[in-house]
Structure 1
Amino acid sequence: MNDYQKQLKAWQAKPFIKQLKKQLPQAEIFLVGGAVRDIILGRETKDFDFVIRNVSKKNLEKFLLKLGKVNLVGKKFGVFKFRPRGWQGEDIDIALPRTEHSIGMTGGSRDFKIQSNAKLKIEDDLSRRDFTINAMAWDINQSKLIDPFNGLSDLKNKIIKTVGKAELRFKEDYSRMLRAIRFAVQLNLPAGKAGFEIESKTWQTIKKSIQNLNKKINGEWVVAREIIAKELTKAISAQPVLALELLDKSNTLKHLMPELLKMKGCPQPKNFHSEGDVWQHTVLALKKFNSAAFKKEFGSARVTAEVSCGLIFHDIGKPYTITKADRLRFNNHDVVATKIFKDIAERLRLSAAGIKTEVVENIIAKHMLPVHAKVETMKDTTIEKYFFNENFPGEELLMLIFADISATVPPSGKPDFTTYKKLKNRINKLKRKSKGPDSKKLPRPLINGHDLMKELKLKSGPPIGKLLAIARETQLSGKIKTKKQALTFLKKQNRD
């Protein structure tokens, strides 16, 4: 027996499955969908979905309530969110066999008429699913794989193909096109190994139909922006380089984020960027996340979706700010890039997908920090503001800066990390002043505004803030170490 068959067969021993078979012996139990796919692939899976035949909705609900908690949100169309007592994972989806009929073929994921039928064949239930690799079921009673659409073969051959005609399947729900791209990215992990491809007819249909993601009916989006955001985020989080490549080649960028395409062909000074135009620089920078140098610098720290998005959009302002008077310049491209990303994030509802858009905006806005500010003369309070502040994404900014520099290739072929190293030295110097196990927390300020108003007889206002900044800078430099020293120092400053 194959390893995946052993894992699938192990479900027979789960307590709630044993109880179900005992109390409802007529029940036919099937593990379906992504869980079957992932177990066959040897991937970790958290989402488990079951289809149960030959049991009425009423009897199934009654049984489940005896064994755990049941969320009745999906009750009207025969789906229960079930958490068995003692179960440590995500809620389990348990459903009766269902059919789905797209209402009017609008392409909207919400425009389905769903009917449950306890007597419906499992093959008919599977026929409504999106891709063949998701249209398999494990028959727990018979310990066999139900595979009417050759999903196992497609898994072995690493092919993503629709169930039935691609054009019809996508017309039912246009967001499935993004799901295909997302699966092609997610199932290709780890990066660099030969992986899944979208089958030719499915791919051509995506390229031809992707503009329908922007379709509106009566002024409303057919495909909710939130759904688009979630699919994009999942793909970019998994593998940003491959995600960007597929989104580009499928014409998705053209219709959802056309601003990015302006980076193609946007020239850069060859004395700094022998790697090519802005698009080529961006792709190369994304690849640096997997480089040995990056892993050495940041260890096991995870590259978040925010960092990936920040890097994808960090130079999007260059095509809009390019001047060629004396040489190629992109003045304020970081400011423009921040605004463009903000517009795109609002347009596509990226925050609904869990993207912390303010983090992305901050790291785009400050990615030129080592260039714009002389690191040697930068105030300690400035270093603190960006790299020892729980309200600013300092580590994420460092990741973006490092990858950006790694992909800034002069004619010599060796990126110049001088400014980055100076910045890190300044950060590490401040870290040595930290107390306790958390090296990101510096000693608390010696005084506050109330202290100043009381001791210096000052009223609340801008002068208080200015004096507090001076005190903090002097404290971080090591020149004052006590509250008494701070007050003495500021009294003199105030007199001067």
Structure 2
Amino acid sequence: MKAKRIDALSASLRRKKDFAFISALRQKYPSAEMYLVGGIIRDTLLKRNSKDYDFVVRNIPLRALQRVLKSLGTVNLVGRTFGVLKFLPKRSLLNEPIDIALPRTDHSFGTGGYRDVKTQSNPQLPIEDDLLRRDFTVNALALNLGTGKLIDPSGGLIDLAKKTLKTVGDPIERFHEDFTRILRCIRFACQLNFAIDPKTLKAIPKLVHHLKERRDGKFIVPREMIAHEIIKAFVADPVRAFDLVADMGIVHQLMPELEKMKKCPQPANFHREGDVWVHTRLALSILSSPVYRRQFGMGGVNAEIVFGTLFHDLGKPYTIQTPKKDGTDRIRFNNHDTVGAELALTIMKRLSFSVFPKTNDFLHIDPERIAWIIRYHLVGYRNDIDVMRETTVEKYFVNPLFPSESLIKVQYADTAATIHQNGKADFTSFRKILKRVGKIKKTGKKAAVPPLLDGNDVMHTLHMPPGPTIGLRLTRGKNVSMFFFQSILPIDLVLLYKRTLKMGLLF
């Protein structure tokens, strides 16, 4: 079965015009050896779709390789000592260039910075030496395109069969070469549903503090790379990612605000499932459950929904009031939605969560959109949706200007994870929301342009008590709101409007 998959991969390379460079190089340089390496070999053997084409070419000098490829398409050299070429064939249908490299060795400076490595290419270097510089055994595989032989110097095939993620060589040494590999380990474990080798797993907590280490005022591991790995891990498997980043100390180092959710009590009559941490984990588990798929289809969940769920109750530990301490009738979390939105915004900006482009619908995060979801995740629950005006319902739930659909999905996860005294979740309010939204959608009527702010926004932003002054300020801002809507993107517009409000320029 393994041989059939590899044969099918080789046949597809021969068929596709984008890979005609393989035969061209072979004709020009008969002694050349060409290898397909890394993730695509792993994914082919696991029967996973992949377009991660990386090649290593032996016995051809770099300049000669460049010349041949340049005659077949566009070539860009990524560092002369790296010996890596980005190649896009003429009239290619590929979305990204193909990586074609000479065999390389790495010599780490021992700082853990991913750039703090001296990489030296050598066309005569054995392919085994190139593979032994890689991160994990399951990624240190190569297919000889001439002989069809699989090259596996570190036991990657055995680890694939065991579904185990293990570093190539000593994990402390391998992680010290590049601390980003710690997060890549978490990400691969979530994406592949692999166990992490005990020795590899044991090394992570010892080194995780380096993820926030600085040198000369700059982070050793760029925040964008941290965000890249964390987002991919959580989207692949929300609960596994949640457990791993907590157990390995990554939450403590990078998102310490989350730790307060642990042992933060909730009223037992509404939250039999446990504290805020347990509730959040249960909500994340709902996102990959059969009941969620029945409700919303098989399309999966994107980063906006996952992190909206992760952060939705983040404000609770910071706003908790108890009968014993504060004299309340029960445990309460007044304004936790607003406080949580600001805390989440701080985390996402600190860790550069907007790293993926807007064109990537699945992984892109706009921190302001997620903050909006958190801020309004109780709309329709705190206030009965049956008595809400139609324009208000449209504003939150049928609004192309805001993440209304993601809001509904986060509310579903929150509801399903809120276990009452009878041991069940109560979907009464959620069903009312769906019913009301469904009626509006059936009319086919476009949602009216909603006001940028409501009275709650004014009170939260200016820290004002309820009263007639709130309505006066909203009325004075109405014309400004309509003007802004014609020229600025919605979330940016809200930010600008609120800043203007704080500065007192509108009123």
TM class, shorter-length: 0.7 to 0.9
> Could you tell me how far apart the structure 2 residues matched to 1:222 and 1:383 are?
47
Secondary structure, in 3 states, of the residue corresponding to 2:291? Answer: helix
User: In structure 2, what residue type is equivalent to 1:337?
Assistant: G
Q: 1:284 to 1:129 in 2, by over 3 A?
A: same
> Could you tell me how far apart the structure 2 residues matched to 1:330 and 1:3 are?
58
1:77 corresponds to: 82
1:396 aligns with 2:406: yes
Question: What's the RMSD between the two structures over aligned residues?
Answer: 2.0
2:442 corresponds to: 432
> Could you tell me how far apart the structure 1 residues matched to 2:269 and 2:477 are?
47
Secondary structure, in 3 states, of the residue corresponding to 1:371? Answer: coil
Cα shift readout 1:358-415 (whole Å, capped 9, x = no counterpart): 1211111110111232211211111221223222000000000011011111111221
Listed as ranges, the gaps of 5+ residues in structure 2 are: 324-328, 357-363, 451-473, 483-507
Task: Give the one of 113, 117, 130 matched to 1:112.
Answer: 117
CA contact (8 A) 2:391 2:448 kept: no
> Could you tell me how far apart the structure 1 residues matched to 2:133 and 2:416 are?
47
Q: 1:182 to 1:464 in 2, by over 3 A?
A: closer
| TM-superposed deviation, 1:355 | 1.7
1:336 aligns with 2:355: no
1:144 aligns with 2:154: no
User: In structure 1, what residue type is equivalent to 2:147?
Assistant: Q
Secondary structure, in 3 states, of the residue corresponding to 2:399? Answer: coil
CA contact (8 A) 1:434 1:443 kept: no
> Could you tell me how far apart the structure 1 residues matched to 2:437 and 2:34 are?
58
Matches within 5 A, 1:164-179: 164-179=169-184
> Could you tell me how far apart the structure 2 residues matched to 1:36 and 1:385 are?
48
1:248 corresponds to: 246
Which range is displaced more, 172-181 or 211-220? 211-220
Secondary structure, in 3 states, of the residue corresponding to 1:362? Answer: helix
Listed as ranges, the gaps of 5+ residues in structure 1 are: 189-195, 436-440, 446-460, 470-496
User: In structure 1, what residue type is equivalent to 2:50?
Assistant: T
| TM-superposed deviation, 1:321 | 0.8
User: In structure 2, what residue type is equivalent to 1:392?
Assistant: F
User: In structure 1, what residue type is equivalent to 2:349?
Assistant: E
User: In structure 1, what residue type is equivalent to 2:21?
Assistant: F
2:494 corresponds to: none
CA contact (8 A) 2:377 2:410 kept: yes
CA contact (8 A) 1:54 1:119 kept: yes
CA contact (8 A) 1:317 1:337 kept: yes
| TM-superposed deviation, 1:84 | 1.9
1:207 corresponds to: 205
Q: 1:463 to 1:112 in 2, by over 3 A?
A: closer
Matches within 5 A, 1:431-470: 431-434=441-444, 441-442=446-447, 462=475, 465=478
1:198 aligns with 2:196: yes
| TM-superposed deviation, 1:70 | 1.6
Which range is displaced more, 423-432 or 389-398? 423-432
Bigger Cα Rg: 1
Task: Give the one of 93, 101, 110 matched to 1:88.
Answer: 93
CA contact (8 A) 1:433 1:443 kept: no
| TM-superposed deviation, 1:38 | 0.9
Cα shift readout 1:24-73 (whole Å, capped 9, x = no counterpart): 21210011111111111111111110000000111100110111222334
1:237 corresponds to: 235
| TM-superposed deviation, 1:160 | 0.8
Task: Give the one of 378, 399, 403 matched to 2:388.
Answer: 378
Q: 1:68 to 1:266 in 2, by over 3 A?
A: same
> Could you tell me how far apart the structure 2 residues matched to 1:355 and 1:431 are?
27
| TM-superposed deviation, 1:423 | 1.5
| TM-superposed deviation, 1:293 | 2.7
1:100 corresponds to: 106
> Could you tell me how far apart the structure 2 residues matched to 1:185 and 1:463 are?
51
Which range is displaced more, 28-37 or 5-14? 5-14
1:126 aligns with 2:127: no
| TM-superposed deviation, 1:85 | 2.8
1:352 corresponds to: 355
1:305 corresponds to: 303
> Could you tell me how far apart the structure 2 residues matched to 1:206 and 1:114 are?
25
Structure 2 length-normalised TM: 0.83
Q: 1:331 to 1:442 in 2, by over 3 A?
A: closer
Cα shift readout 1:300-322 (whole Å, capped 9, x = no counterpart): 34311111001111111111111
Matches within 5 A, 1:266-285: 266-285=264-283
Cα shift readout 1:132-183 (whole Å, capped 9, x = no counterpart): 1111111111110111101111111111111111111111111101101110
2:258 corresponds to: 260
> Could you tell me how far apart the structure 1 residues matched to 2:404 and 2:302 are?
13
| TM-superposed deviation, 1:5 | 2.1
User: In structure 2, what residue type is equivalent to 1:52?
Assistant: V
1:363 corresponds to: 373
Which range is displaced more, 242-251 or 82-91? 82-91
> Could you tell me how far apart the structure 2 residues matched to 1:199 and 1:293 are?
32
Identical pairs, percent? 47
CA contact (8 A) 2:113 2:221 kept: yes
> Could you tell me how far apart the structure 1 residues matched to 2:291 and 2:228 are?
31
| TM-superposed deviation, 1:464 | 9.8
1:316 corresponds to: 314
Which range is displaced more, 167-176 or 371-380? 371-380
Cα shift readout 1:218-255 (whole Å, capped 9, x = no counterpart): 22211111111100011011111111011111111111
Q: 1:301 to 1:45 in 2, by over 3 A?
A: closer
CA contact (8 A) 1:133 1:155 kept: yes
CA contact (8 A) 1:138 1:145 kept: yes
Which range is displaced more, 232-241 or 410-419? 410-419
Matches within 5 A, 1:283-298: 283-298=281-296
Q: 1:301 to 1:9 in 2, by over 3 A?
A: closer
Aligned length: 440
| TM-superposed deviation, 1:74 | 4.3
